[in-house]
Amino acid sequence: MRKGQYRFVAGFLFVPVALYVIFVIWPYIQTFGYSLTDWKGQSQTFDFVGLDNYKALLRDDVFLEAIWHNILFLVFIPVITILLALFFAFMLNAGGRGKAGGVQGVAGAAFYKIVYFFPQVLSLAILAVLFNAVYRSDGGGLLNGALIKVGLVDADNPVEWLNEPNLVLWALMVAVVWQGVGFYLVLFSAAMQSIPKDVYEAALIDGASRNQSFFRITLPLLWDTVQTAWVYLGIVAMDMFVLVSSMTQNMGAYGGGPDHHSDVMSTVMMRNFLYYGKSGYACAMGVIMLLLTLVLSVVTLRATRRERIEF
Amino acid sequence: MGSTSDENHGSAGVGRRDLIKRSAALGLISVPTMSLLSACASGGGGGSSDGNGAQGQKSKDNPFGAKKGSKLDVMVFKGGYGDDYAKAWEADFDKKLGITSTHTGTQEITGKLQPRLNASNPPDIVDDSGAQQIKIDVLYKNDALLDLSEVLDAPSVDDPGTKVRDTLIPGTLDPGVQEGKVVALNYIYTVWGLWYSGKLFQEKGWQAPKTWDDFLAICQDAKKQGIGGLAHQGKYPYYINVAIMDLIAKKGGIDAVKAIDNLDPKAFVGSDAAQAGIEAIYEVVEKGLLMPGTNGLTHTESQTRWNQYKAAFITCGSWLENEQLKQTPADFDMKFLPMPLLAGSKMPFEAIRAGSGEPFIIPAKAGNLPAAKEFMRRMLSREWSTLFAKEANSLTILKDGVDASVKLRPGTQSTVDASKAAGSNTFRFLYPDWYSEMDTAIQNASNELMAKRIQPKEWLKRCQAAVDKQAKDPASKKNHHD
């Protein structure tokens, strides 16, 4: 670099880095500090309690169960969303019946692409309202209403979708997947469009079936994008705060019911922080969440590392 | 998401309802937790104003000497009760005293109040409630609140021979007490119980039940006619807990209430009252007398269903009528009913759970203290209390505070009658304000019971476990329900 360029670049970098340190890194450090105290969140008076909060965490069944729920989300949400998005994207880009050796999507692909993207423009709050109407526990709910009409559900005992320990997590998952698929479909579509057509054509000439061309050509060439999608969806699965707190049975505050069967780490933490007034304890949960998220990111990026393919 | 302001029952009172709403509101933005922690802005106190710059002539009608021509800055929480009542007060105040009031109606009390407190130019009088209230104990610890004893010891507007504090319903000042001083005036008087439609009952020929057996009979009859018996706001088990706990209280008397509040080792397991109460509620579940699906409905969903005559009864506090104004048919004839009695109950049928909420405060550094005190004194006059009842459909803590000549809405009128009939037979559980974790565990157990996933025996065990866990916390030694 020429003389002075370093200073020039550093000058530009200084402001964003400073902002990041002040508003992200510093609060994290503070959180760790608070997690060693019995702070109650009301005022700046607290005593140092060492690692007591962390010891208590290991015995807190509700929080430990919440971690499992997050892990469950972490396994299922990315897998289901990515599989569906890949399938749809492939069908829209290369799934059509090729006439005379051309590669094209199914009929009406352009229209589908737009429709699939609709749910993505909804905010999470709207999504919660929508699915609350779908899962509503009496005949006024979309699901119950339809099932009662068909005669599968007794009108006097409608299914309380979000009040069933065995259903609630799946019900939440359906909502997340429904909203997410459209975005990843567009993401994968864009990536597929950048794959040269002649690769597919060559495969067709060699007599490759649709499945083979997907698994041997499309997927390997999309791997970078899939990896990105996985990390994003992992973040979504680690959070889930909005949907859980606004859709599930209330456990004092921030949803999580029935009987903590839908609690996730963030709802347990917020409940302790604001509602129980155990803010120091909640900060310890925050630190654990940070650690888990970091471990997760590293593992995800490592596990999915592959050679880059240039084309 | 219309927030309802009621239910700040208790000194540390963020009301249950408010928290419920808050959790919904939080749904709008997922807050990265850590940023919460950096949000604690501590403002250095600026210059102090003595607040008496607007001192006028004191007189019999104006004991604090509110000055003609001065300004009064009013800030109220604009929630379930709206803020029309405050506007009506201000108009009357301005007319009678020649003062110019400025009005702020907001849901964002913290955002609007905190900066002004820190800059030492707070409003003169504030209704500090709602999801974003600043907690009273926090304000108190920061010396931000005026001791209201001067107002309470002033002569009453209606009867100059009596002190203001002697015109109030007994016990209603308690939630606003910090270290023996009243620093917040909990203005609204709430009663809890069952509600029904007078019109529906008349049509069906049902009498308002006084005993649990009568109550069950009506539910049975309703079921035969394709109407649900009892509706509750199932998504928030807080509501059904009101019914359960009130049955227990009325069965076992005040001792049963104190046993739970004071974390007695036999509060639930080994308490006949608790067993009778929960078994009674379970009977409703078992016989299929709940409104179908009610366990999973939000408060608005189930209350609206009840307004559509889909259930005979619903359990709620007296904010119900105002909250359901838009959904209630004109001829619905909403009526309040104390919890019906189980056999062998220690309390009379008329006994109700009741208490005060919605804290009004005067900041210690208010610019026009005389006018603020005068305003509060007038809030506790019959005229203003009646204005409130008319505009907000709710009672105030003033004894007989509503003019008999004024026509109130049917639900509000029936709470007036019920609270007259109850007299001193009121009770209140304090554990929800003291032990939110224990409260959550009990709500959770009730939710499982309503869904038939656990039996009364297991409910008692779970609740006792929550009590025992709370009793281990050394901090619980500080509270005692005498």
Instruction: Search chain A and give the residue with CA nearest B16.
Output: A252
Let me know whether B105 and B168 are in one domain.
yes
User: Any idea what DSSP says for residue B55?
Assistant: B
Supply the pLDDT for residue A43. 63
Let me know whether B297 and B379 are in one domain.
no
**Whole-angstrom distance, CA of residue B396 vs CA of residue B385:** 6
Q: Which helix (H) or strand (E) holds B378?
A: helix B369-379
Q: Which of the listed CATH numbers 1.10.760.10, 1.25.40.10, 3.30.70.920, 1.10.3720.10 matches domain A51-303?
A: 1.10.3720.10
∠ CA(B380), CA(B384), CA(B389), 5° rounding?
105
Rounded average pLDDT over B5-26? 43
Rounded average pLDDT over A25-38? 92
CATH number at residue B346: 3.40.190.10
Among B142, B240, B287, B440, the strongest candidate for a mutation testing the A interface, having the largest count of A CBs within 10 A, is B440
> What are the tens digits of pLDDT across the range A176-214?
999 999 999 999 988 988 888 888 888 888 888 878 888
Let me know whether B272 and B169 are in one domain.
no
Check whether A19 has a pLDDT greater than 90: yes
**Whole-angstrom distance, CA of residue B435 vs CA of residue B470:** 7
Q: Does residue B418 sit within a domain?
A: no
CA dihedral A173, A175, A178, A183 (to 10 degrees): -90
A266 at interface of B, judged by CB pairs closer than 8 A: yes
A43 at interface of B, judged by CB pairs closer than 8 A: yes
pTM of the predicted protein model = 0.83
Higher pLDDT, B185 or A110: B185
**Whole-angstrom distance, CA of residue B39 vs CA of residue B354:** 36
Range of the domain at B102: 31-182+362-403
Let me know whether B371 and B333 are in one domain.
no
Is the Cβ–Cβ distance between B434 and B462 less than 8 Å?
Answer: no
Check whether B244 has a pLDDT greater than 90: yes
- Single out the residue of B76, B14, B7 nearest to residue B299, CA to CA: B7
Q: Does residue B422 sit within a domain?
A: no
How many angstroms from the chain centroid is the CA of residue B409? 19
Whether residue B34 and residue A34 make contact (CB cut-off 8 A), yes or no, is: no
- Single out the residue of B23, B193, B45 nearest to residue A274, CA to CA: B23
Let me know whether B76 and B107 are in one domain.
yes
Instruction: Search chain B and give the residue with CA nearest A45.
Output: B141
Let me know whether B334 and B468 are in one domain.
yes
Q: Does residue B8 sit within a domain?
A: no
Whether residue A246 and residue B301 make contact (CB cut-off 8 A), yes or no, is: no
Let me know whether B223 and B322 are in one domain.
yes
- Percent of chain B residues topping a pLDDT of 70: 89
Let me know whether B197 and B276 are in one domain.
yes
Confidence of residue B20 (pLDDT cuts 50, 70, 90): very low
Q: Does residue B141 sit within a domain?
A: yes
Rounded average pLDDT over B344-364? 94
A33 at interface of B, judged by CB pairs closer than 8 A: no
Whether residue A160 and residue B27 make contact (CB cut-off 8 A), yes or no, is: no
75-94 in A: which are within 8 Å (CB) of B? Answer: none
> What are the tens digits of pLDDT across the range B370-423?
999 999 999 999 999 999 998 899 999 998 888 888 888 999 999 999 999 998
Check whether B26 has a pLDDT greater than 60: no
Which residues of chain A are within 8 Å of residue B31 when distances are taken between CB atoms? Answer: 241
Whether residue A163 and residue B236 make contact (CB cut-off 8 A), yes or no, is: no
Q: Does residue B277 sit within a domain?
A: yes
Domain ranges of chain A: 1-35, 51-303
Q: Does residue B209 sit within a domain?
A: yes
**Neighbour tally for A297: CB within 10 Å:** 14
**To the nearest whole angstrom, how far is the Cα of A108 from the nearest Cα of chain B?**
35
Number of domains in chain B: 2
**To the nearest whole angstrom, how far is the Cα of A43 from the nearest Cα of chain B?**
7
**Whole-angstrom distance, CA of residue A228 vs CA of residue A235:** 11
> What are the tens digits of pLDDT across the range B406-415?
888 999 999 9
Let me know whether B391 and B372 are in one domain.
yes
